[in-house]
Amino acid sequence: MPKIIVCYKWVQDEEDIKVNQESLTLDFSRSKKKISEYDKNALEIAVQLVEQQEGEVTAVSYGAGDLKQSLKDVLSRGADKVIWLDDADFAKADAFVTANVLAAVIKKNGPGDMIICADGSTDNCSQQVPVRIGLELDLPVITAVIAIEIVEDGVIVTRRSDHGQEKLKVCGPAVYGVLPEAAKARVPSLKQVMKAAKKLQLQMQLEELELAAEKMQPKIIQKKVEGYVMKRKNVIFKTGNVQERVKGLLDGLSQEGIF
Amino acid sequence: MKKIWLYSEDLDTAEEMITAARSIAQAGDDIGVITTSKANAEELAKRDVVKVVVLDGDGDGWVEGYAAAIAAALEEVEADVVLVGNTISGRNIAPVIAAKIGGGLLSAASNIQLKDNEVEAERTVYCGVAVSHEQTGLPAVITIDKNIFDPAADEEAKTEISIKQVNRESRVACIETIKVEHQDIDISKSERVIGVGRGIDKKEDLLMIDKLADRLQAAIGCTRPIAEDEKWYSVERYIGISGQMIKGSLYIAVGISGQIQHVAGVRDVKTIVAINKDENAPVFDVADYGIVGDYNEVIPALLTAIEK
């Protein structure tokens, strides 16, 4: 009966962010927030493990003032309860601060048997939060995980390596950074959405964590963010019969020296 | 005078990191190398660096189990900057080093500038929508993608090698190592690539893609759902910010809508071509040339025209 903690991040949906082509500023006015895509896969693998073995999945998140909007979705996706902490200064938090806060929340509530995170988020993608959580909690960390199997005396993990795959055996609690391919995220059913309304939502305050000031001091300063603009020719053939459109393309490619 | 150190268990990556270190170093700065491979140390010692340190462990596999030992060695030498390849193992080891030496970690960084008391670099954020300009004080750890810097060549130097015995994380045991060698082609090194997306109706249609690839001497890649959901190709073939980043001379996107995660993986390709029946597909915004049309008509017509 594993007790599993899953960390998630409430992020801007990158598909809807518009870049101003002249000023390179980002326009978030049409972008909705979502649970970071890879965190949905991390939550799914935890929920599947609990569905097989019973147990409990606790979702944990640290975020900005609008974090509350995420609770219903994360509970609909199968978490049994959610512990959340919003912070007006969240925008300044880097991976170091985020991991310190998440680790402190987990410590207060008990680390359980496993802590599952995505290897990275879809917004900042610094890919270091799971490792830093493990260090804070003095737990081993296994990244690039693609499968987790709970056995009698521990956990067998399959993970990608730079040369193929490795199978590792873990004894005791650990942090797992999982890849998206580990589990395809579900689309919550109406029943799951209804059930979510009755689940426990526990809000915590930063003060309760009694973190040293140094642990809330970011190591990385973001100086500016600029939209990435690709300059392309945009010669699109949309009229004429297919032979004419294909000829247009091949003429273009021969000018490029490709044919 | 700064101490720039680099770590990789992989020879090619370590050689690339030597070049990266030289690109940020100033006269008088020292460059040192840490590796977990004795064999690589012999080779790396032929490069003109101040020292090569080998951390000799008690077993093969799961090199990340030595992360704490690597971090402790870098703390001992009082490294100002540590460069680590942005590989699977590097992404795990780099944050451990950063935590141990008390520094920030700039991950998958480019345009790195080493200043007196800080490092500045650029990072891709929002899956490729934007670039973040970031700064961190020293000491600092930086991970760098493969294939950005050329590997440092043999300079016939005779750098001192020191060997240190270390132990691996004991709470995790490596029970099996599965080497996948050349199971699939490395599309990140292909000059021409055809990308396949969700717009392809059925698997049989891949036959015409194969034909086109054959004629153009191109490799075939795909989008993430094609590899992960449809499983038409191995996950090593999916192109995008979390998959392969390609940079050849030609990319042809067939039935690909142009999601930002995918497009970020082809941004360094010289010429991008899109074939899609939806003229509003975002892929046309990032294409040099495009054909609006059904691939069932366009690909055969393209094959016929190329034959001529």
Structure tokens at B185: 């082609």
By C-alpha distance, the chain B residue nearest A247 is B305
pLDDT band, residue A40 (cuts 50/70/90): very high
Q: Which chain B residues have a beta carbon less than 8 Å from that of A144? A: 88, 91-92
pTM more than 0.90: yes
Q: CA B11, CA A52: separation in Å to the nearest integer?
A: 43
Q: What's the distance, CA A171 to chain centroid?
A: 25
Task: Name the one residue in this structure whose structure tokens are 């040339």.
Answer: B289
Q: What is the pLDDT of residues B271-287, one digit of tens each?
A: 999 999 999 999 999 99
* Side-chain half-sphere exposure of B2, counting CA atoms within 13 A: 20
Mean pLDDT of A100-112: 96
Instruction: Specify the amino acid at residue B111.
Output: N
Determine the pLDDT at residue A54: 87
DSSP code of residue B239? B
Alpha carbon of B218: minimum distance to chain A alpha carbons (Å) = 12
CA A93/CA A135 separation, integer angstroms:
18
Q: What is the largest CA-CA distance in chain A?
A: 70
Distance CA A44, CA A22 (A): 41
Residues in contact with A198: Cβ distance below 8 Å, sequence separation at least 6, in sequence order: none
pLDDT in tens, B208-264: 999 999 999 999 999 999 998 899 998 889 999 888 999 999 999 999 999 999 999
B64 three-class SS: helix
pLDDT at B184 over 70: no
**CA Rg, chain B, in Å?**
22
Q: Taking Cα atoms as reference points, which of A15, A238, A230, A250 lies closest to residue B276? A: A238
Residue B181's pLDDT band (cuts 50, 70, 90): low
Q: What element of type H or E holds B194?
A: strand B192-196
Q: Which residues of chain B make contact with A119, given a CB cutoff of 8 A?
A: 91
Above 80 in pLDDT, residue B182? no
Q: A156 to chain B: which residues are within 8 Å by CB?
A: 175
Residues 5-34 of B with CB under 8 A from A: 10
CB A259 within 8 A of CB A251: no
Cβ atoms within 10 A of the Cβ of B291, count?
28
Please, what are the domains in chain B? 3-165 (3.40.50.620), 187-307 (3.40.50.1220)
Which chain A residues touch B291 with a CB distance below 8 Å?
236-238, 245-246, 248-249
C-alpha to C-alpha distance for B183 and B83, rounded to whole angstroms: 30
Q: Which residues does B305 contact at the CB level (< 8 Å), separation at least 6?
A: A243, A246, A247, A250
Q: Which helix (H) or strand (E) holds B106?
A: strand B104-106
What pLDDT, on the 0 to 100 scale, is given for residue A134? 98
* Other C-beta atoms lying within 10 Å of the C-beta of residue B300: 15
Asked whether residue A198 carries a pLDDT value surpassing 90, the answer given is yes
Tokens of A113: 């048997």
Query: CA triplet B70, A181, A158: central angle to 5 degrees?
Result: 50
Count CB neighbours of A149 within 10 A.
12
Q: Which of B272, B275, B289 to probe the A interface (max A CBs under 10 A)?
A: B289
